[in-house]
Structure 1
Amino acid sequence: MQHVFSSVIVAADVRIPGCSVRMERTPGRGVDWCRNGVIAKRKLSEIVYNEAGGIVYGSLVQARDILGGVHFHEVTSLPAPSQLPPRPRLVDREAAIAELEALREDTTDAPITALITGSVGVGKSVLALSWAHMIRSHYPDGQLYAELRGHSDGAPASPQEVLGDFLHALGIPAELIPGDTAQRAALYRTVTHDQRLLVVLDDAFTAAQVRPLLPASPASITVVTSRYRLAGLVVQGARGVYIDRFDAAASLALLRDALGSDRLDRQLEAAAELVELCMRLPLALSVAAARLAGRPSWPIRAMVTALAEEQQALTIGDDVALRSALDLSYRALRPETARLYRLLALVPGSTFGGDAAAALAGIPRVEARRLLGELTDANLLTDISDGRCRFHHALVRLHAAQLVEAEDQREGAEGRLLAWYLATAARAERQLRPYRTGLPRDAEPSPAEPTDFGGPQDALGWLESERTNLSAAVTLAHARGREVMAWQLADAMWPLFLYMGHHVERVGVEETGLAAARAAGDLYGEAKMLNRLGLSLNDLGRYDDAVARFDEALEIWRRLGEREREAGSLRRLGLVAAGRGDRDAAIAGFTASIGIFRELGADRKAALGLIDLAGVLVTQGRGPDAVIHLEQARGLLRGVDDLYNRARVGILLGYAQVDHEQADRELRSALEMMNRLGSSVGRAAALEGLGELAQRTGRPEEACHCYEMALEVLGEAKSATYLRLRGRLDHLS
């Protein structure tokens, strides 16, 4: 039996905040909506119009008439985020748990924020994570976690950074995440407004750091830990739960849990003294217990004596117990384990894996992973996800940092780590942009075991996971006077920014790279970073600043006799002129650059110039001339592994073609290629082209729809493209 369905709409592999489908029937019969991929069926005679709105991450199929069977398969979607670190062992704290439960059960029409405060080492994080694991089943839309580094040896985590990670975890592709903190916060509120989320924000420094990270839904809950009372949050409705040090009974219970009742009961007097020497601080007790647990034959009295001697040499303060416990635990480590513990304080980011640890210490990866396991067993490190670790507490990292200053050749260790970052970023770069050859990536000797990748997706995944560390490594290299390393690493990060955005961070990294190249007196590196920074500024519509950078680069290339690079700067100046609307200057710049590229046999770069030239010709209404240049560019790119620029040819052909059906085919093919690449800029350009075609052929509603989708895809409100799209919409309305 055959069936005819009309206006069947199927959404698969979808994670869609607010996507909807609108179907109009014949006049007088009303309008139907179906949301989030619901199937809609109407009689053929009734349907005259259907439309999908919003952003679909996955597949969307719309069809008017289908003859034959229609089969629907189970929809797959991204899993809800589950970011909580492993559940820690909780001792005592029944009263605090009861207080937190009462807070959660107190019905309210606003999101709940629980603020856990207390002194250093008192167990705030352990309580927060333990309770979060207890209640996680009540929050099926996901659990988010961020370490805010309020009391680390580096800068606290910025809300902008954390919001980017949260939005990505909630299913928003990185290329759709805005650069501006306020825009990220607004998108976060939109995404979370009807979800049941559990958010844990560990070690907060200020209320201002926390406020943008609070979800919007009253069905959500946020757990914040801080040494401070954060009155700004309390004023806004946060409920405080203060925890103090253990009493003697709870302290002994912690030791009993780690050492066993038999051992503790035989040495109860010494155990009681140990409790007081640790000032009943759970963190200090845990470190001491970890050391005793690793030495079953060691009497507790020996630990008491050693700890008392340590404390006599320390200045009395709130962290004296913890510092003395850490010193004893550190001295019990094997020499190679102790060395790695010290060196890990040099990692510029907050997390690290076995490969980075191996490079840092100059040891094989297998050995590094084994030593990380020993440090985790000693309660000095904490496992997170995907084989990565972090220090157990900010004070533990500070302790390691103080030791590395005193006992290690810091320069050699940092050099090994930075060399690994550069070599691995260069390998990722080659996977993603294989046509970029002969790039200088020789600032440091390559590591013995560089990380390799199976393909472009693996390479991009590594760049994104290490993004914070890579950006911090550029800053570290510059601060340590490793200037060539700094600019080469900044340059190697280009594919990450090209594919994933991170616009604000990109400008910061490139400004540091430029300063480093200048400090090194490296004219080649300076001109490269000037070009990089000029492109970033041009994308943000900062045309005067972009021209200044490109002019400086052009002068350097001419001094160096680099004619191909000179042509590249002329082309970039043409891009700025085109952005400003100075078409004659743009055509002059593009024509000059194309001539040099052809003379030098640089076919791919000549194709890029032809694409840019065709874009200006299109704005002048010279479509047939533009088509000639675009077909030449397509021929030059044939066989070149550069899908992005082949898609750009298709987008411009969509503007230039007189045949509207051919233009539509070109634009839709280009949009599909940009989707495969995951380029937000490219997708927005293709959608803008489809909108312009719809507007040109008398379909204003469809044009508005395409422009709105392009704006949502782009997400960068400061960019020139965003402002142009906004102007198109304003004109239509």
Structure 2
Amino acid sequence: MSDPQPTVRSEMSGIAGHVVQAGDVHGGVHLHQAKSSDAGPPRQLPADVRGFVNRVVELGRLDRLLDDRTPEFAAPAVVLIAGTAGVGKTSLAVHWAQRVRNLFPDGQLYINLRGYDPGAPVTPESALNLFLQALGVRASAIPSDPQAKAMLYRSLLADRRVLVVLDNAATVSQVRPLLPGTASCLVLVTSRNRMPGLVSRDGAVRVTVDVLDDSEAVTLLRNLVEEHRGDDDLEELNELSHLCARLPLALRIAAERAATRPWMALSELIHDLRDESALWGALSSADDDEADAVRTVFAWSYRALPNAAAQLFRRLGLHPGAEFGLGAAAALAGLNTGAARHVLDVLLAGHLLEQVGPDRYQLHDLLRAYAIDQVRHDEPPDEQRAAIFRLLSWYLSAAEQAYLSVSRGGRHLKIDVEAAELPSAPEAFADREQALAWYGRERSNLMAATRVAAECGFDRIAWQIPGTLAVIYDNHDSADVWLATERAALEAARRVGDRYGQGVLLDRQGIKFRKLRRADEALDCFREALEVFEFLGNGLGKARVTNGMGVVHMEAERLQEARASFERAITAEPLSDGETSMRALATVNLGDTHLKLGSPEEALRCVADAMPTLRRLDDVIVELVATRVQGVAQRELGMLAESRASFQTAVELIRRAGNLIAECEVFLELARLEIAEGSPADALVSAQRAIVIAQQFSVTTVEAQGLDVTGIAYQELGRQSDAVPFHRRAVELCRAVGDVGGVNAATLRLSTALESEEREQR
């Protein structure tokens, strides 16, 4: 028969493009990391700051450090820019980073760690997730283990020239996991903390930023107002700069107010600011001149805002995250998006807000703290609560639109969303990709919104947000990302007595524990969920959790229990497309179980039963699994050409589904097929791809099988000594996850390889 192998391999290279480089198989297998695209190196630096002045000494120091990194730098190369709040650390870091970015052709990474934000700081794990995605790793391929994330990050940056800017770090522990492992990269950290541990242990070089001197402060004021005002008196400019404690943040806000009142003498503005300062001094007990100066300027600018802008500014203090979109701001304000954009423009013009992207905004941490103070002082509690409810409703409604764009097949438990009427409700997403991009931007806000909903007693919203979004994050985040949030959501459903919500969240938790290989906890959740759905008479729910229990049993090699669970799910009376889709999934899983029980004919029969339903409902993810099972069964029956055609179809479905776990499984089975076809060298490449993806997604069983198959391929090539370490590592991994069958099989192959190696050496 003709060998269509080159065609399939070419097709697959489009899925895992640059995932691996097999190199010369005679030199061994080299594992590289899965990349999601060829979008080019990351370019994440914010725009340079308008009106940046002087800082000649600091810029010169930074330039010298870059020119001569040895011996002053250790690896990794780290510079700490330290100074008080509002002194311009970020402006200096961004300005210098923009100047030198061309020296780092492999990319520039930037993150605001929000170490001093009134809300929760960005954790190292969250920062690593974002950096890994920026470096091309698919979100679903990021390991759940924090140490594994950091190792992958360092591997991707090894021998690359990348500039990493870690803005607003509060502690060394927030920074250390984000340090590359190579001196070819440069890390720029900004912090109010002098971080002696980062200097002493990690070899960071500290550059301290003080307030501007008189000349620099006046120059900044002049640069910002020169297009709008005449020649202001130097003495008055000096006085204004001193009232702002010569802090760039305060100076920019004061300059903007002066620029928007060109008819008003500077002396009048100074008089107003002095009055505000006296009032703040009477109200404040803080013994911190710089902090008092900043807050005084905030208050002075805030009180001058139109009512609508002042109201929105303080209500932004209610937002659970520092960054937000136009729709969320409109919900807080109770305005339509057009009116909200106009009000946001007023805040932008006054430097009370920063724009970080199209219809995306953020508050400086000092301004956010001030906004929180003002909303607590100026807004009655019932109005605060109403604004929070609108905001949470907006996020829930947007989550529902994302669900509608992404869900396929009807297997998912439907959520009857309960949200407020909004002046501007979220619009439908144009397609699946747009919905996923929105989710990527809003992930942290959505988790924070769930927590806020639970804390404020909006318990239905608290469980409905993750219940609605599960269809997305199950395939685009590692299992640990939403685990704690789902727990809070489950408690919310229990508080409100919503049995359906409890069933939904118990099912979700069962899936999470299964993926984390916590089988007993997974089964406990599924059993409790089954009781709920039986009480409610919900057929789809019963089928889902019964199937979930079957998957737990199958992964634990309890195949008879798995078979019984899947058969119970299949025989449930189908009352809707959802239950029909679930029945098809259970049928495919039963086929997979038959494969493991040594009955490939039964597996093919199961796939044939399920496939018409899957195609009718466009359930591409389950169709992909069914096609893989079909290909394996055909291979086991000696139908090699048919098996290769099935794997070819599976590759096409991977592109549509974007399911990375299925991708590594398909590569693994293709490697086994190539061994059966007598092409072990090609099997090395396919197995290698499977291993890489499995490592990144912490699919240890597939990683172990891939290593074992690699050893088999080397044995087929007559290279017993190369096979031994792969079989040995496969045994170790199988033992670590309690895969007794895998341990036995890999041990047998290891023994064979060792005996053959011994014969070769005689």
Match of 1:319 in 2: 291
Structure 1 residues 301 and 216: CA distance shift in structure 2, 3 A = same
Structure 1 residues 636 and 240: CA distance shift in structure 2, 3 A = same
Structure 1 residues 22 and 707: CA distance shift in structure 2, 3 A = closer
Match of 1:567 in 2: 543
Aligned: 1:364 with 2:364 = no
Q: Give, in whole Å, the separation in 2 of the partners of 1:705 and 1:116.
A: 46
Deviation at residue 505 of structure 1 after TM alignment: 1.0
Residue correspondence of structure 1 range 618-697 to structure 2 within 5 A: 618-657=595-634, 658=637, 659-695=639-675
Aligned: 1:424 with 2:401 = no
Deviation at residue 11 of structure 1 after TM alignment: 11
Structure 1 residues 133 and 55: CA distance shift in structure 2, 3 A = closer
| Worse-matched range after superposition: 691-700 or 376-385 | 691-700
Match of 1:554 in 2: 530
Contact kept, 8 Å, 1:176 with 1:712, in 2: the verdict is no
Match of 1:120 in 2: 85
Match of 2:436 in 1: 460
Deviation at residue 86 of structure 1 after TM alignment: 1.2
Contact kept, 8 Å, 1:432 with 1:495, in 2: the verdict is yes
Contact kept, 8 Å, 2:503 with 2:541, in 1: the verdict is no
Structure 1 residues 238 and 520: CA distance shift in structure 2, 3 A = same
Residues 350-404 of structure 1, C-alpha deviations (whole Å, 9 max, x = no match): 211212211221211112222222211111111212331111x211110011111
Match of 1:91 in 2: 53
Letter in 1 for 2:248: P
Residue correspondence of structure 1 range 51-450 to structure 2 within 5 A: 54=32, 77-88=38-49, 89-108=51-70, 110-235=75-200, 236-260=202-226, 265-313=231-279, 314=281, 315=284, 316-317=287-288, 318-391=290-363, 393-408=364-379, 409-436=383-410, 439-447=414-422, 448-450=424-426
More helix by share: 2
Q: Percent identity?
A: 32
Q: Give, in whole Å, the separation in 2 of the partners of 1:498 and 1:721.
A: 19
Contact kept, 8 Å, 2:395 with 2:446, in 1: the verdict is yes
Deviation at residue 406 of structure 1 after TM alignment: 1.8
Q: Give, in whole Å, the separation in 1 of the partners of 2:237 and 2:341.
A: 33
SS of the equivalent of 1:363 reads coil
Letter in 1 for 2:660: S
Q: Give, in whole Å, the separation in 2 of the partners of 1:18 and 1:645.
A: 24
Structure 1 residues 414 and 261: CA distance shift in structure 2, 3 A = closer
| Worse-matched range after superposition: 253-262 or 715-724 | 715-724
SS of the equivalent of 1:144 reads strand
Q: Give, in whole Å, the separation in 1 of the partners of 2:100 and 2:390.
A: 43
Contact kept, 8 Å, 2:228 with 2:262, in 1: the verdict is no
Match of 1:73 in 2: none
Q: Give, in whole Å, the separation in 2 of the partners of 1:607 and 1:10.
A: 28
Structure 1 residues 423 and 715: CA distance shift in structure 2, 3 A = farther
Q: Give, in whole Å, the separation in 2 of the partners of 1:52 and 1:92.
A: 49
Q: Give, in whole Å, the separation in 2 of the partners of 1:15 and 1:661.
A: 23
Deviation at residue 702 of structure 1 after TM alignment: 4.7
Q: Give, in whole Å, the separation in 2 of the partners of 1:600 and 1:465.
A: 34
Residues 665-686 of structure 1, C-alpha deviations (whole Å, 9 max, x = no match): 2123113311332111111221
Deviation at residue 217 of structure 1 after TM alignment: 3.5
SS of the equivalent of 2:190 reads strand
Deviation at residue 648 of structure 1 after TM alignment: 0.9
Could you tell me the TM-score, scaled by structure 2's length?
Answer: 0.85
Residues 460-498 of structure 1, C-alpha deviations (whole Å, 9 max, x = no match): 111111111111111111111111001110111112213
Letter in 2 for 1:287: I
Deviation at residue 340 of structure 1 after TM alignment: 1.1
Structure 1 residues 435 and 599: CA distance shift in structure 2, 3 A = closer
Deviation at residue 722 of structure 1 after TM alignment: 4.5
Letter in 1 for 2:553: A
Q: Give, in whole Å, the separation in 1 of the partners of 2:112 and 2:30.
A: 39
Letter in 1 for 2:500: Y
Structure 1 residues 184 and 270: CA distance shift in structure 2, 3 A = same
Deviation at residue 618 of structure 1 after TM alignment: 0.6
Match of 1:588 in 2: 564
Deviation at residue 641 of structure 1 after TM alignment: 1.5
Task: Work out the number of aligned pairs and report it.
Answer: 687
Deviation at residue 426 of structure 1 after TM alignment: 0.7
| 2:457 maps to which of 458, 462, 481 | 481
Deviation at residue 693 of structure 1 after TM alignment: 3.2
SS of the equivalent of 1:389 reads strand
Deviation at residue 193 of structure 1 after TM alignment: 0.9
Contact kept, 8 Å, 1:288 with 1:329, in 2: the verdict is yes
SS of the equivalent of 1:504 reads coil
Match of 1:44 in 2: none
Q: Give, in whole Å, the separation in 1 of the partners of 2:103 and 2:125.
A: 28
Q: Give, in whole Å, the separation in 1 of the partners of 2:115 and 2:134.
A: 22
Deviation at residue 701 of structure 1 after TM alignment: 5.4
SS of the equivalent of 2:354 reads strand
Q: Give, in whole Å, the separation in 1 of the partners of 2:623 and 2:451.
A: 35
Letter in 2 for 1:328: W
Match of 1:544 in 2: 520
SS of the equivalent of 1:201 reads strand
More strand by share: 1
Letter in 1 for 2:365: A
SS of the equivalent of 1:222 reads strand
Residues 23-63 of structure 1, C-alpha deviations (whole Å, 9 max, x = no match): 68xxxxxx799xxxxxxxxxxxxxxxxx997567589xxxx
Match of 1:46 in 2: none
Contact kept, 8 Å, 1:112 with 1:238, in 2: the verdict is yes
Q: Give, in whole Å, the separation in 2 of the partners of 1:301 and 1:14.
A: 66
Deviation at residue 232 of structure 1 after TM alignment: 1.6
Contact kept, 8 Å, 1:671 with 1:687, in 2: the verdict is no
- The higher-RCO structure (CA 8 Å, 6+ apart) is 2
Listed as ranges, the gaps of 5+ residues in structure 1 are: 1-5, 25-30, 34-50, 60-76
Deviation at residue 184 of structure 1 after TM alignment: 1.3
| Worse-matched range after superposition: 275-284 or 412-421 | 275-284
Letter in 2 for 1:202: D
SS of the equivalent of 1:153 reads coil
Structure 1 residues 507 and 306: CA distance shift in structure 2, 3 A = same
Letter in 2 for 1:662: E
Q: Give, in whole Å, the separation in 1 of the partners of 2:192 and 2:34.
A: 42
Letter in 1 for 2:86: G
Listed as ranges, the gaps of 5+ residues in structure 2 are: 1-5, 709-725, 731-745, 751-762
Contact kept, 8 Å, 2:409 with 2:581, in 1: the verdict is no
